[in-house]
Amino acid sequence: MVGGREFGTRLLRLYLPLAVCLILMLFPFYWMVITSIKPNRELYSQKIMPLIVHQPTLKHYVDLLTETNFLTWTYNTMLVAIITTAVSLVLGTTMAYPLARMKFPGAAVVAIGVAATYLVPQPLLFIPMADIINRLGLGNTLTAVMLTYPTLLIPFSAWLLMGYFKSVPRELEEAARIDGASRVQAMTRIVLPLCTPGLLSAGIFAFTLAQNEFLYALIFLAKSEVRTVPVGVITELIRGDVFYWGQLMAAALLGSVPVAIIYSFFVDYYVAGLTAGSVKT
Partner 1 sequence: MARAAPEVGGRASPRRLLEREGAFSWIMLAPGVLFLIAFVAYPFFYGIYLSLQERQVAKAGLFVGLGNFVTLFHDGVFWQVSRNTFLYTIVTTVLKLLGGLAMALVMNQAFRGRNLARAFLLLPFIVPTILSTIAWMWIFDPTFSVINWTLVHTGAIRTGFSWLGNATLAMVAIIIVNTWRGIPFYGITLLAGLQTISPELYEAAAMDGASINQRFWHVTLPIIKPILIIVTMFSIIFTFADFQIVYALTHGGPANATQVYVTYAFDLGMSAGQLGMGAAAALTMLPALVLLIIGLTLYLRRE
CA distance 188 to 94: 11
Based on the shown chain and the rule CB under 8 A, indicate whether residue 100 belongs to the binding site for partner 1: no
Q: How far is the CB of 4 from partner 1 (least distance, A)?
A: 18
Which of 64, 89, 95, 142 is close enough to bind partner 1 by CB under 8 A?
95
Of 250-269, which residues contact partner 1 (CB under 8 A)?
A: 251-253, 255-256, 259-260, 263-264, 267
CB–CB of 197/205 below 8 Å? no
Which of 1, 2, 51, 108 is close enough to bind partner 1 by CB under 8 A?
51
Q: How far is the CB of 1 from partner 1 (least distance, A)?
A: 21
Torsion of CA 70, 72, 76, 78, to 10 degrees: 70
CB atoms within 10 A of CB 42: 21
Q: Which is nearer to partner 1, 167 or 212 (CB)?
A: 212
Q: List phi, psi (to 5°) of 112.
A: -65, -40
Q: How far is the CB of 76 from partner 1 (least distance, A)?
A: 14
> 3-state DSSP helix/strand/coil percent for the chain, to nearest 5?
75, 0, 20
Which of 6, 8, 11, 21 is close enough to bind partner 1 by CB under 8 A?
21
Beta-bridge mates of residue 242: 239
Which of 110, 138, 194, 200 is close enough to bind partner 1 by CB under 8 A?
110
Based on the shown chain and the rule CB under 8 A, indicate whether residue 138 belongs to the binding site for partner 1: no
Angle in degrees, CA 156, 151, 274, rounded to 5: 20
How many residues sit close enough to partner 1 to count as binding (CB under 8 A)? 102
Based on the shown chain and the rule CB under 8 A, indicate whether residue 11 belongs to the binding site for partner 1: no
Torsion of CA 5, 8, 10, 14, to 10 degrees: -170
Beta-bridge mates of residue 243: 238
Based on the shown chain and the rule CB under 8 A, indicate whether residue 62 belongs to the binding site for partner 1: no
Based on the shown chain and the rule CB under 8 A, indicate whether residue 167 belongs to the binding site for partner 1: no
Q: How far is the CB of 219 from partner 1 (least distance, A)?
A: 6
Based on the shown chain and the rule CB under 8 A, indicate whether residue 116 belongs to the binding site for partner 1: yes
Single-letter amino acid code for the residue at 149: Y
CA distance 66 to 251: 12
Q: How far is the CB of 58 from partner 1 (least distance, A)?
A: 19
Based on the shown chain and the rule CB under 8 A, indicate whether residue 198 belongs to the binding site for partner 1: no
